[in-house]
Amino acid sequence: MSSPAPLLDVELVTLFPEMFDSFLRASLLGKAIDGGVVRVNRTNPRDFAPGRHRQVDDSPYGGGPGMILRPGPVAAAIEAVEAERGRAHRLLLSPSGRLFDQALAGELAGRCRLMFICGRYEGLDERIAELFADEVVSIGDYVLAGGEMAAAVLIEAVARLVPGVLGCETSTVDESFSAGRLEYPQWTRPPTFRGLAVPEVLLSGNHAQVAKWRGLESLRRTQARRPDLIERHPLTEHETMLVQGGPTQRRRRSPSER
Ligand code: ADE
């Protein structure tokens, strides 16, 4: 009997497939791959480059520094992958793409087949973007040596939203960015560590108080660290009420500090 189709089917088109070796084996993603929930195939455009030297890059037309990936081997790799396993939603990783965020992670998690096309060197011939990319995506306003690390970031962010990848299905509901807010801080045992005590409300067993406290901490943290998120997602009525409720207890001092 054939095994069921994976819930997330990933194609990586990269000149450095080995960069993903330990990443794809580790932790929950590794387990999801072992369990058949996620499948990842890697294809190297170099295997599609002509000639004895299998050269994949060339100097830019118009001059300038560095080397540009030639379109032929990348196009041939994409076409070979899709001829064998079917059309995928194709994402080209580039610092000049749309900024990746949790909303896009959610959108991508709803698709069954994703292809990540990783550029290298100074860039990729623009015709690959024009002919093949469904979206061009950047992970931030900085330049990496290639798209591989960016692809890994996207894979991890998307895979953890796929049912069966995280151990606990509710883990993604409460977290940072799900409502334009950073996540509230968390603690575990011991109750006091190096002079810092866990806030008392969290030890109280009063779920309503805990929820209120977390909402306020989440808001305070967002205001302090990411005011841009507050601008884009103004305070809700509930948050306004929380803030007007006055300062709640923050951190309990340890006995040695009292
Ligand atoms: N390739 C190089 N830099 C990148 C970035 N910031 N995001 C996505 N792909 C990239």
CATH code of the domain covering residue 214: 1.10.1270.20
For residues 98 and 108, what is the distance between their CA atoms, to the nearest angstrom? 14
What SS3 state is found at 58? Answer: strand
Rounded CA-CA distance 164/133 in Å is 29
Does 164 reside within a domain?
no
What's the 246 CA to ligand 1 centre distance in angstroms? 43
User: Distance, CA 124 to ligand 1 centroid (Å)?
Assistant: 12
Are 73 and 155 part of one and the same domain? yes
**pTM for the full predicted model:** 0.89
Q: Identify whether 175 is part of a domain.
A: no
Domain harbouring 43, CATH code: 3.40.1280.10
Task: Note whether 128 and 74 are within 8 A (CB).
Answer: yes
Query: 71: closest CA among 136, 131, 146?
Result: 131
Q: Which residues line ligand 1 (CB under 6 A)?
A: 93-95, 119, 138-140, 142-144, 146-147, 150
What angle separates helix 148-159 from helix 27-34, to the nearest 10 degrees?
70
| Judgement on whether residues 101 and 228 belong to the same structural domain of the protein | no
Pocket test for ligand 1, best of 14, 69, 94 (most atoms within 8 A of CB): 94
Show pLDDT as tens, one digit a residue, over the chain (258 residues). 567 889 999 999 999 999 999 999 999 999 999 999 999 999 999 999 999 999 999 999 999 999 999 999 999 999 999 999 999 999 999 999 999 999 999 999 999 899 999 998 789 999 999 999 999 999 999 999 999 999 999 999 999 999 988 765 556 655 677 789 999 999 999 999 999 999 999 999 999 999 999 999 999 999 999 999 999 999 999 899 888 885 554 555 444 434
Instruction: Decide: residue 99, CB within 10 A, 0-12 exposed, 13-18 middle, 19+ buried.
Output: exposed
